Structures are given as C-alpha cells and as structure tokens.
Structure 1
C-alpha cells in the first residue's frame, strides 16, 4: 500500500531515520530542510510505494551521501549534487530511473532521497538496503543478493562527477572512498542501479514505513512530556542497554570516516558502571569497562538524549551529554554467516565473536508491537 509524505511529515522522517541510523547517515536536520524546501518549491508530496507494486522491468536507483558525517556538518551540500549524480547515471545507462531508493535508514540518507524524489517526481520504494546505517558501500543486503554497486556516479559540490565501474562491491567502496576524500570528505552518489525484480529479491522491505512510525512515536512521546525510550523498545522489539554520561571522547576523521570511541559513566540504575561506545560513522560496539561486549554490530545500538529523548548522532557526541542506549536486533540476513562476514565485529577489528543482542543482554528482546 502506497502513502504520501509532505513537508510537514519530514520532521518525523528525520527523527525516525536518526534513531534507526545508529548514530550515522549524517545530520538529519540538513536533509530534512533540503526535502522540505524542494517539496514546497515544486508544490508536491512524495509517493512511497510498496515494493510488490513495482514492475519487474523498472529501473530502481538509490541516491545517498557518502563520507564522514563530521564533514557534512560544515560542508553542506548545495542541493544539486544528488540530482547531478542521478542524471549522469541515467545518461550512462541510456535509461531514465523509474523509482528511487533510500540506501539506508540513516539521518541524512533517509531524507536526501525525498528531496530528489520531490524534484524529479519519482516515487520512493518502501524499503532500504540495511535496516539501519553502515559505514561502507558494500554493506547492504543487495550485496548479499549479488546485485552490483556499479555503474556508480559520484558528484561533489563543485560540479565534478565521475562514473565508476568495479569488479566487486568491495572495490567500489575502496575506489569511491578515495574519490570522496579528494572531493573534500563528502559526496553524493547514485549507485546499485537494479531492475524491479532484483529490488524485490534484495531490498529490506517496509523501512520507510518503520522510519515514519518511529518518528511519529518520538514526537508524540515528547509532546506528552515522556521520554520515548520505553515506547521505542516496545514498538521496535529491543532492550535497554544503559543510561550513562559521556565523560571522555576520542574522535578523528580518517580516510573518509568519523572514527572513535566515547567513555561513559553510568547514571540512574547504572550508577557505578562504566562503558565504552565505539563507532565508525555508526555506533558499532558497546562494552562494559572490563571489555565485556553488551551489543555488537550488525545489531543496532541506538542513542537518545537521556533528558530530551531526541536521537543522538556520532558527530553530536560531546562531553557531559547524557545518553540512553537502546539495542535492536538486526534483520536476520545480517545475522547469517554471509551477513556477519560483511558487517560483523570481526570486519571492523573488534575482538569479539558476534553474539545476538538478546544473548548478551541476558534477556530476550521484546516482540515488536503491531501497528
């Protein structure tokens, strides 16, 4: 079933994407403003369609930001880069796109496609390639279904763009990352051009519906002067990881990524405990002070402001900030041997063998509430 998203709905999309984006995907506020501006300029809402309703021979194209979220805070997109990337890819393929896709449920990358859709009039598909956000281009369910990332177009704010073709999705990541660094650390890309049939096989379905519902829930709970944490655990089927304050943070932008770790000191029921939260664009590993893992990629580590209940991204971490961390189980594809090889803790160099969130937490994750 399709639905429409208008300018007034983009706050909810940004909130939901920022929460499910596990700290990554870029600043949702920037993408929200871009989408709202484009919708109002063109006087149009964006249609979001069910994957089952897409013809098998349709051309479906994801558009997204690539680079370090810390760079995007200061190096704002001018709004034309994503359109330039999409247009150049269409020229290369000799075919116009029929549908657009959000590559991940991340702050900026869950909102920029709405801006492109509003400008082009193309519908968005209700799904994504991650069910969360990951730092590298090959870390998508599409890779698990042998869908190629290239041909891919990468564009910057100066008007440069280029077409990449690669022998594998990993090589696409390596080459595109190098170009992104030369483009100033952030760029907009159009990639993984696929048929409707490939999309139906490889896409994680219902993501944009979930993003919208999560955003609505956060907004409603805050309006009612309640912290949204408990309601989100119930809605998404998760576990409470900890409530703690940032007492030290190490962060650096290296090779097109924002890498680092935050040291946390427990609050409320977690007083007397200490934690280490490690990230590479996204929150990927939460450990107790003695190194015992509490949550590991590919499961989701979602951060909320402990006081206000707004989602917290990696680039907004700061000394003294109180966090409530919530864990959500990843899609079952990510827990498969192939998924863990692609985005498990070993890939990022963490010294842990993946264990499901519910095992590490010592209690089962709740069943998601029905909508």
Structure 2
C-alpha cells in the first residue's frame, strides 16, 4: 500500500491512543496545546480500547496517532478501522507489542521517544557508577549507625573513582549516552557490542572487548542490552564469577538478561555488589534474599522518565509531528529491519 507524504501547511487528523494514566502523566496542558497547534486533534478522552464504537468513529478519519504506554496493539483489525492512518508518534521508548506486521505492511511511519527516555536512564547509571565507586551507600549506612566519622585516612585504595574501569554492555541509545557522560571522568571505558567495530568503539570513547575480558577487568559493569532471544541470560554465572572482588553490576535494561540466581549467589557471599533497577521477576518475591542484602540496591524501575522528565518525551513527540506534517519525515524513526535489535 502506497501512502503519500504530507507537505508544508498540512494539519493531520490525529488522536491520542494510550492509557488515561499515561496521557495524564506525559501530556500536560502545554503539550496538548502544542499538539492542537499542529494537528486537528480528536477530543479527549484518549483511546485505550480500539474496538469500541467511539474509537472506530475516531479512527475512521485519523492520519496520525500519538501513542504511549497502554496503547493497544495496532493490528490488522485496528488498521481496518483506521484506513487513513499513515504515521505513529510514540511518546515512550519501545514499540514492541504495539506496532505489528500490519503496520509495516501498510507502510505506516513510526517514531519513538526512545532517545528522550535514554537520557534519564543514562543519568541514573552515571550516578550509580560514581556513588558505588565511592561506596556512598555503605558509608552512609555505617555513619547513620555509628553517628561518628570513621578513620577516613585508612580508607582502602579500592574505594574511589580515580582510574576505575567501567564496562558498558551494548552500544544502545542508553549505552552510548552513558559512555558520553563518562567522558569527563577519569575512568577507562570498555564496550562489548557484537555489532560495533574497534574503530566505532574508539570513536565513542571506549575500547571494544569481548564479554569475558569485560567482566574479568571491570570494576563496574553496566548492562544496557535489549532483551532478545539471544540476550536472555547473557550475563551468565560464568561471567559473574569472573568479576573482580567487590565489583559492581548495574542493570537498567531487563531482568532476564542477567542470570538472577547466579547474581544472587555472588551478592549474598559479598563477593560482588549489585544495583538493580530491573529484576527477574519484577518485582522480586517478598521473601527474596536480595531485599535484605546490604550488597544489593534495588530500585523500582525508576531509571526511565518520571515526573518532570515526562515532558521531554512529549516535547520530542511534538517535534516529530511538526517535522512529519511539514513533509520532512521523522528524526527518530523506528525501522522494521532494526526491530530485532531494539528493546
């Protein structure tokens, strides 16, 4: 099916398709006003069920969907209700589960706010790299318990961030951003990504290595690979066992990328430390030993956009829609051929 691109001055008919909670979080009044300046936006409430009579009536005239968390799959049935749909501007990261083969077969253009969502994840990662290198969490706990400063001149030489070695697993959007944020710091960055050459890694500011070398050499390893059939359990018991004593594993990608049982064993023995924004399963069972383990910091999947950071997602989507409506195409397109490598 051939879809004709819009041109300058075009005001597409658009609708918002996501959960009401997602819409309330991401699309504040200013963002909605910006969308209405660009589009003939269907009146709220948002579409969170594409099979209702109202949804079908709205979809019948829609050229563009502004989607987000909780958007139902845009499958063949949904597309039959939306014969004019030509583009999707997604206000979150992954489009898995929402964009189906039917969209690609029609030629629907898809944009994602993954680049915007990568920013806070990378910031979280940088913060955790520096804080764990300084052993801030442990020292704050000890200080709270003792109410006095310890013998700071006897601090072990392994504490601190001077010339630490940091491994970044995958040159994803987030992984690349982490490497960029690490540039001002006096650390060595190792990168593992089978799709990145030595020269490309060097251009990013890292040294490309194979997985065993990364885990054997790094004081901190930060996981940024998407969860794919080939990456499930990628961070194996063998790799975790090769980490230096007191090394830190940070995971902000997906829990199943890491062998959770192997990591638990290593953390419980005190050999390694872990910062986990994702786990397998998520959340962990209430009686899981990592909850009470002093060597593990578990956060509730908060590294991605939250609070005022949602505005960055909306701003990116608005900018994408402005480009698309003017005939310039998306700056952050999602390509069908790249889906197998994306989160």
TM-score range, shorter chain: under 0.3
Which structure has the bigger radius of gyration?
2
Larger strand proportion of the pair: 1
Normalised by the length of structure 2, the TM-score is 0.24
Give me the TM-score of the superposition, normalised by structure 1. Answer: 0.23
**If each structure's helix is expressed as a fraction of its own residues, which one has the higher value?**
2
